[in-house]
Amino acid sequence: MKRNIRVPFLIVNPKAYIYGEETLELAKVCDALAKEYDIDIIFTAQHIDIQKVADNTENIIVTAQHMDGMIAGRGMGHILPESIQAAGAEAVVLNHAEHQLTITQLVKAMKRAKELELLTIVCSDTPEETKAIATLSPDIMICEPTSLIGTGNTSDDQYMKATNEAVKSVNKNILIIQAAGVSTGDDVYRVVMGGADGSGGTSGILNAPSRKGKIIEMLEALQKVKNQK
């Protein structure tokens, strides 16, 4: 059964910047904070770290950073969906700007994820691409211009409005993350009040003087949203 995501929520996406014990340490911080603030946190990890993270946390949504749309058998070097599920992943990110898929690859991967009841978190760039991907009915979409990823500059209001509307015009049940360039609690507050269901980031968290402090700042922004809605 798929994990239910409560809104608003946070995504902490370390990508390949950290691994091993450093990833586990950050995951434990997120796990404790998710319980303290009663806010869902999606936490992505390197495939090799998924089981360690899943075995040592209870509250975060442990998420793979990619998988392939394959079945058990041939596929040397590819990521078998059953393997990430067995390791403890409850969700998977697909089509990130740093690991883009063809439409055929994306459809296959989403099909396999749905068979295994893994949450699908699918990335898109332009409003046009966003609308097209929304027709595939992912559970969550990350809408972010590729050019802004890691820059510290957030998407402008026009882009967020256009992509939010593109998703909801196709399927109102798809949750939306706006996270490009997000690095502060104020950024998180702005994008969620602007219509997104969640936010978060990578460099804004990993490069902060205190990663825990930055996550708290973002969670407090989400708490503020909850109190105002």
Supply the residues annotated as catalytic: 96, 144
Report DSSP state, residue 1: -
Question: d(Cα 200, Cα 45) in Å, to the nearest integer?
Answer: 15
Instruction: State the Cα angle at 10 between 8 and 14, rounded to 5°.
Output: 165
Structure tokens at 46: 């390197």
| Contact indicator for 42, 12 with CB cutoff of 8 Å | yes
Beta bridge partners of 175: 140
Question: Could you write out the DSSP letters of every residue in 14-54?
Answer: -TTS--HHHHHHHHHHHHHHHHHHT--EEEEE-GGGHHHHH
- Six-digit token string for 172: 């109102």
- State how far Cα 98 lies from the chain centre: 14
